[in-house]
Amino acid sequence: MRSLDIAATGMIAQQRNVEVVSNNLANMNTTAFTRRRTEFHDLLYQNLRRVGSTSSNAGTVVPSGVQLGLGVKLAAVYRIHEQGNLTATDNTFDLAVQGKGLFEITLPTGEAAYSRDGTFQLNANGEIVTHDGYPLQPGITVPDNAVDVTINAAGEVLVKIEGQVNLSNVGQIQLTTFPNEPGLEAIGDNLYLETPASGNPTSGNPADTDFGSILQGFLETSNVNAVEEISNLISAQRAYEMNSKVIQTSDEMMGTLNQLR
């Protein structure tokens, strides 16, 4: 009874669908979260009668054959890197990227991670760090006698030091781009790692050609669309139920078979 196994692949696939939707909805208010979409592919086919084979010596061809499909599989869960909305926070170290590019963060292991979540803070040494205390790369230190910090669209960090007339430039924030951003590996904490699929990172100054610009006092919201997610959730649940009906039917058919003797 293949239909039991086939319907089971369908139920498993729809369960994954609901899991992806629930993760999207759970991260609706996560800074710079990119929504995920599930992509399903059909599984392999059993050729009971091969399509295109000749059905007689006169050269007549079987027009459609008997190809029995064996279910469905989850082919990919891919991220859709659309720009999220910007929301004003007025916090000095909340930075949003408008356009392409990710911030580079140095993990405690020394490895580079990338993020579009620009909610930075200062640590005890005045360094710009993430909420986990991981420093921005290249490292920028704000002197402790600074009264005001301005970060402009090009990523220059300008500080007003008490008693000085001119602002002084204490660093340059850089952005990193990849040939294929959806190919980055998500490791949680709004961080991504480089993979062979993402391609090599290219660093540059914000607002240069090919790089987005920095907006101080803003954050990028997630690009989750609640309406789309809810409609996906409904269709996944109904598909799950219909597959369970197939299992029930297969079970009843086997019951019929058992009653024969």
Partner 1 sequence: MNALEIASRGMMAQQVNVEIVANNLANMNTTAYVRRSAEFQDLVYNNISRPDTSGSKAGALVPGGIQAGHGVRVAGITLNNEQGSLKATGNPFDLAVQGGGYFEISLPSGDPAYTRDGTFQLNAAGELVTHDGYPLSQGIVVPAGTSDVTINLTGEVWVKIAGQVDLANVGQIQLFSFINPAALEAQGNNMFTATTGSGEASPGVPGGAGYGSIQQGYVESSNINPIREVASMVAAQRAYEMNSKVVKAADEMLAPSK
Q: CB of 219 within 8 A of CB of 87?
A: yes
Q: Can you tell me the distance from the alpha carbon of 189 to that of 174, in angstroms, rounded to the nearest whole number?
A: 20
Q: How far is the CB of 211 from partner 1 (least distance, A)?
A: 8
Q: Choose between 115 and 223: whose C-beta lies nearer to partner 1.
A: 223
Q: Choose between 56 and 259: whose C-beta lies nearer to partner 1.
A: 259
Q: Choose between 199 and 217: whose C-beta lies nearer to partner 1.
A: 199
Q: How far is the CB of 86 from partner 1 (least distance, A)?
A: 17
Instruction: Report the DSSP beta bridge partners of residue 150.
Output: 158
Q: How far is the CB of 18 from partner 1 (least distance, A)?
A: 11
Q: Choose between 92 and 244: whose C-beta lies nearer to partner 1.
A: 244
Query: Tell me, what amino acid is at 164?
Result: Q
Q: Choose between 63 and 108: whose C-beta lies nearer to partner 1.
A: 63
- String of b and e for 13-25 (b: at least 16 CB within 10 Å)? bbebbbebbeebe
Q: How far is the CB of 28 from partner 1 (least distance, A)?
A: 16
Q: How far is the CB of 190 from partner 1 (least distance, A)?
A: 20
Q: Compute the radius of gyration of the chain from its Cα atoms.
A: 27
Nearest CA to 160 out of 142, 173, 174 is that of 142
The number of residues in the chain equals: 261
Count the Cβ atoms, other than its own, within 10 Å of residue 240.
17
Q: What are phi and psi of 199, to 5 degrees?
A: 85, 180
